[in-house]
Amino acid sequence: MNITKTDLDALNAILNVKIEKADYEEKVEKAMKDLRKKASIKGFRPGMVPAGLVKKMYGKNVLIDEVNKILSDSLWNYVVENKVSILGEPLATENNLDKIDLDSEPTFEFTFEIGLSPEIDITIDKKVKLPLYSLSVDKESIDNFKTYYTRNYGSYMPTDQSEEKSMLKGRMAQLNDDGKETEDGIVNEESKMLVSVIKDEEIKKQFIGLTVNQYVSFDIKKAFPNDDEIAGLLNQKKQDLVLTTNNFGFTVKEVTSFVDAEINQELWDKIYGKDVVTSEEQFLEKITTEISESYKAESEYKLKADIRSQLMAQATFELPNDFLKKWLKKTSEKELTDEVLEKEYPAFQEDIKWQLVKEKFIKENDLKISEEEVTELAKQVAMAQFRQYGMNNVPEEYLDEMAKRILSNEKEKKRIEEKKVEDKVLEFVKESINLEIKEITPEEFRKL
């Protein structure tokens, strides 16, 4: 096996690979013997097919398969053993497969183009100063949090008359031009409608001030231009929805209006668990703590974004762009036109640079992640999902189970591992630079 590397410049090189008889002879012979044992050819018992016949029928294919295996293994072994830091994968540019006689035990020659990782020079020390924002918890923030909880745990209650925030339940039926129900027309006896989402203002007015058993006829397409909404109102599948007329009648069966939850023990128990909070003073303390933790998380997120910007500002190194564009076109699952490639390449280039910057810090500072850290981050992801549904008091065993489910998906596991690695790098840089604490109001922070 003979592999030589020729540098074209600091970022591009050529690998020439020569595979001779001595490299593949033993492997080919073994593969042919194994094939002879399994070969099933009419007129011969299994395992008794003449070796010459097997070679004549399958020899060329076996030779090429074994050479390709050797080529793949030897290429990557060379890259690893010689510490050649490459981007993407080697791209084959030349071979002599079509020019040689496979029956003559030839020497195979291959040429590959490779893109090399650049030298990265980034300095991070206490001379680098970045702001760490400290947000104050003001009355407006507390009031907003209270409103969030009372609305999140509110409910629809029966009312006598509809208003804009009401939910109407009733019978929806398709009408003829003369205002009578169509034969075999669409009817939904249990239609539900939020008055506030009606798009046409004149039609919306028709649905305000209604009581049980009152009737309204209207143009459903004007009221709800979106077919998804219409399909939901009529309990139909969107793909099956065919309207022979847009005229519909609605008979009110029930009127309910949304009412915010009251601030009392029942609400506190729903939010935090039974008797964890038993007074308005404790509720205020809890809210203040939650806001502080939320602000701290937002401040950390902003800091990490600033750290990344700081690092990327120093990432002035060049990439083997021509090679990477070729590699992207060759490995793309879908056809990639030159126009699309040129449009999307800057974002790809930014991602590659950020990946290289992270790898520099990981390698130089021996930064590693543990299974426990990955599991803990998966639990945080799970908790965030529960919170989206208003569940803030989730038992630990539920989080453990959800984390296991998330990590059982290889794609999700890889995403979480990459996130944890990035967090490690950013945390390392954070400890290495000079942070300036800056007091700021939530409003000022939002503008940033």
172 close to 248: Cβ distance less than 8 angstroms = yes
Domain spanning 2-116, CATH architecture: 2-Layer Sandwich (3.30)
Q: What is the mean pLDDT of residues 105-129?
A: 92
pLDDT tens for 140-187 read 999 999 999 999 899 999 999 999 989 999 999 999 988 899 888 899
Does residue 33 or residue 208 have the better pLDDT?
208
pLDDT surpassing 70 at residue 115: yes
- CA 336 to chain CA centroid, nearest Å: 22
At 445, the pLDDT band (50, 70, 90 cuts) reads: very high
Cβ neighbours for 136, distance < 8 A, ≥ 6 positions apart:
439, 440, 441, 442
Residue 311 CB contacts under 8 Å (≥ 6 apart), including other chains: 122, 124, 354, 357, 429
Mean pLDDT (the chain) is: 91
- Spatial contact of 361 and 428, defined as CB atoms under 8 Å apart: yes
For residue 323, how many other CB atoms are within 10 A of its CB?
Answer: 21
Residue 390 has pLDDT above 70, yes or no: no
Architecture category of domain 155-259 in CATH: Roll (3.10)
pLDDT of residue 336: 87
Exposed/middle/buried for residue 202 (C-beta within 10 Å: 0-12, 13-18, 19+): exposed
Give how far Cα 359 sits from Cα of 11, 71, 76, 277, 312, Å. Answer: 18, 28, 19, 47, 13
Q: Where are the domains of the chain?
A: 2-116, 129-143+278-447, 155-259
Token pair 């800057």 is found at 346
Q: Which fold has domain 129-143+278-447?
A: Trigger factor, domain 2 (1.10.3120)
Among 271, 278, 273, 223, smallest CA distance to 247 is for 223
- Residue type, position 245, single letter: T
- Residue 45 confidence class, pLDDT cut points 50, 70, 90: low
Q: What is the pLDDT of residues 393-417, one digit of tens each?
A: 778 888 999 999 999 999 999 999 9
